[in-house]
Structure 1
Amino acid sequence: MTKQRVVVLGGGYAGMTAALRLAPYARVTLVDPDDRFTERVRQHERAAGRPEVTHSRARLLHGTGVEHLAARATALDADARTVRTDSGRTLGYDRLVYALGSHTDPRGAGERAFTAESPEALHKRLLDGPGRLAVVGGGLTGIEMAAEIAEAHPRWEVRLLTGGQIGGGLSTRGRAHVRTVLGRLGVRVEEGRRIADAQGVDADAVLWTAAMRAAGGLAHDAGLDTDPLSGRIRVDAALRSVSHPDVYAAGDAAAARSPRAGALRMACATALPTGAHAAGAIIAESRGAEPGPLSFGYVIQCVSLGRRDGLVQSVRADDTPRERVLTGRPAALVKEQVVRSTLRIMKLTARHPGAVRWIPGMG
């Protein structure tokens, strides 16, 4: 039988996982303009000075049969099942995996404003000379950025501004440890500070880590049903678009749910399992079977607090915190292994596609 044509838009954690899982069963074209895969979960390390957080995409895909088209998708025609790219190529597909991820709204243009997706530019600014850095957003990304930069650049005055309390999803013990470490690193935490844009922040540099939004413009323009607030594609239990079932969404682009976890948040922890499930659902369809629902539950939250400290927060399947935590150097080591495991799983999936069942939380 002729293999299905599957186009995967986006080469992040979800897109790469989907492409590698599908490789033996379909003719897969991965559309992403970058010839290197970025470990997005290490962006705080890159901002602080780590020299490299990317890997050769060609090496990761070598021997899999996946075609990488180094281009940007510019238009999607969901009725004609075609994708137009800025390389001049138009790709037809039988199934599409939409995994274009998310971005942070900088809330203020200008030389002072940075986002978590621009770590190189932020690092260059940090090297230009000491000053005052305001990190806006008290979630896990903001916490990691503030701690990492304060540790690596002690001459900078670092503040963490948040409208609520820092680490809102952490337990009392977990939040207390975060406060202790940030205090030790000299980070001043200002809670209850709702910031409209960078213009209202008195600082030499402003780093936005809040207000994440899915890169759903292409989907919206194509007529797919998307959530107006988050930009995420509305999907059924199998991750098919509710308006165009030939399109699957994965990662931050999908408004996905599971019975155990409820609504999934944007994170690497959900990108790998949704990418793997979208691929598995397409394989099931190709065999004439009805795809099953996504089965996923959270296990832990891992937070870097510089290079020598961290927090591993035990959580229930729905991501609510338990009181059990691991802190200090042991937590930092666990966090590092968790980060490394994402790349290990991808490399293993390239050789053994069934390895995706080892992704934490699936099953």
Structure 2
Amino acid sequence: MTEKQIVVLGAGYAGLAAATRAGKRGQVTLIAPEQRILHRVRQHETAAGHPEHRPAVAEVLRGRAVRHIAARATGIDLAGRKITLDNGEVVAYDTLVHALGSRTAWHDVPGAAEHAYAAERAAGIAERLRTADRPGTVAVVGGGATGIELAAELAEAHPRWTVRIVAADQVGGWFSDKGRGHVHRVLRGLGVAIHEHTAVTAVDTEGLTTADGRIPADLVVWAASMEPHPLAGEAGLAVTPAGRAIVDDHLRSVSHPEVYVIGDAAEVTVPGTGTLRMGCATALPQGQYLGKVLAGRTDKPFAFRYIVQCLSLGRRDGLVQLIHGDDSMRPAVLTGRTGRLIKAAILKSVVMSLR
């Protein structure tokens, strides 16, 4: 009998964790254009001009039976079990792991894609700030974790710039009262202007148009929300209206059980926990679990419980929000230097956890 061909699409947290573990027992092909991991949880640091922490994919895969094809998947032939790549190559599979994750959602806001920097373009944001001929105004659109971390990091690293955070709802509105209060105090202490309940209706070269009027800006950073990569739906996998692939309790596609979908691209619902949100905190455990499944080390259903949510708030402060296993908030938080040190320790553990 020939060895089954396992192909993993995507070198994010979920894809790499699955590939490294499956590669301990058998041959795996990883398809992803990146030579270095994106490391989304540290993009706010890169955007502020701090040194990048992006290990090489080859280093993460070292010692594993994983072949990395540095190309982008452009199509999936589910019937023929083949992947088409942007370099013209076609790769066959017996088992496919779809881990292409998510991307910035522009929500059809006029001018947003043309004039705003997506959070993924962190290095471009840093370069724009570094080469500007004078200090100006940065408008960060989005009051979620990515927007908050970006606004705090940019304000601290570039105190001569005016930083504004613009959110359609509350900034940090999902946190407990203590957690949300701390986020607002730190942002204001760094000089960040907070615009809540302010929907952006257009972006142009001079700033934002909102439902409440104009917000001038020399640089717009878009961190409003993410959407799953569209390839799963385009290929014909069963997906939700939002485009996330529907999977069973072993993370297999409900329409094509030879395809596993993990990370932001998957709609994963765990009994007692609920439907998992997008993010490293959920993607990495899915990849670790699936790698064990593919290596024949477990056949149990995927299980997951939340522990904490945490934020970096510049170089000297942070927030660790204690939560219940279903992601609902507890009242207690850890802040200041303690919160920052805990978040820093978690960041350092991510790359090690990939292996």
TM-score w.r.t. the length of structure 2 is 0.92
Contact 1:298 1:317 in 2 (8 A): yes
Aligned match of 1:234 in 246, 260, 263? 246
Q: Deviation digits for residues 145-171 of structure 1, max 9, x if unmatched?
A: 000000000111111111111112211
Aligned match of 2:300 in 292, 298, 308? 292
Q: Partner residue of 1:119? A: 122
Alpha-carbon offset, residue 228 of structure 1:
2.6
Q: Partner residue of 2:97? A: 97
Q: How does 1:46-85 map onto structure 2 within 5 Å?
A: 46-85=46-85
- Flag structure 2 segments of 5+ consecutive residues without an equivalent: 210-214
Residues 1:111 and 1:226: Cα distance change in structure 2 (over 3 Å): closer
Q: Deviation digits for residues 208-255 of structure 1, max 9, x if unmatched?
A: 11131011x2212211111232x2111111111111111101110111
Residues 1:137 and 2:142 are matched in the alignment: yes
Contact 1:112 1:204 in 2 (8 A): no
Residues 1:109 and 1:194: Cα distance change in structure 2 (over 3 Å): closer
* Aligned residue identity for 1:341: S
* Aligned residue identity for 1:206: V
State the alpha-carbon separation in 2 of the partners of residues 51 and 303 from structure 1: 19
| Structure 1 ranges of 4+ moved more than 6 A | none
Q: Partner residue of 2:3? A: 3
Greater Cα shift, 178-187 or 58-67: 58-67
* Aligned residue identity for 2:53: V
Q: Deviation digits for residues 157-216 of structure 1, max 9, x if unmatched?
A: 11111111111221100111111100100001111101133241431111111131011x
Q: How does 1:1-363 map onto structure 2 within 5 Å?
A: 2-106=2-106, 107=109, 108-109=111-112, 112-127=115-130, 128=132, 129-199=134-204, 200=209, 201-215=215-229, 217-229=230-242, 231-284=243-296, 291-346=299-354, 349=355
Alpha-carbon offset, residue 112 of structure 1:
3.8
* Aligned residue identity for 2:224: A
State the alpha-carbon separation in 2 of the partners of residues 166 and 225 from structure 1: 34
State the alpha-carbon separation in 2 of the partners of residues 278 and 140 from structure 1: 27
State the alpha-carbon separation in 1 of the partners of residues 220 and 272 from structure 2: 37
- Flag structure 1 segments of 5+ consecutive residues without an equivalent: 350-363
Alpha-carbon offset, residue 115 of structure 1:
1.2
Aligned length: 341
Q: Deviation digits for residues 45-66 of structure 1, max 9, x if unmatched?
A: 0000112221111122122110
State the alpha-carbon separation in 2 of the partners of residues 145 and 122 from structure 1: 10
State the alpha-carbon separation in 1 of the partners of residues 283 and 113 from structure 2: 31
State the alpha-carbon separation in 1 of the partners of residues 179 and 347 from structure 2: 20
Question: How many percent of aligned residue pairs carry the same amino acid?
Answer: 49
* Aligned residue identity for 2:56: S
State the alpha-carbon separation in 2 of the partners of residues 73 and 114 from structure 1: 24
Contact 1:150 1:158 in 2 (8 A): yes
State the alpha-carbon separation in 1 of the partners of residues 345 and 244 from structure 2: 30
State the alpha-carbon separation in 2 of the partners of residues 196 and 5 from structure 1: 47
State the alpha-carbon separation in 1 of the partners of residues 349 and 330 from structure 2: 23
Contact 1:95 1:282 in 2 (8 A): no
Q: Deviation digits for residues 105-159 of structure 1, max 9, x if unmatched?
A: 2443466411110011111221213111111111111110000000000111111
| Superposition RMSD in Å | 1.6
TM-score w.r.t. the length of structure 1 is 0.90
Contact 1:133 1:207 in 2 (8 A): yes
Residues 1:239 and 1:156: Cα distance change in structure 2 (over 3 Å): same
Residues 1:223 and 1:161: Cα distance change in structure 2 (over 3 Å): same
State the alpha-carbon separation in 1 of the partners of residues 275 and 306 from structure 2: 11
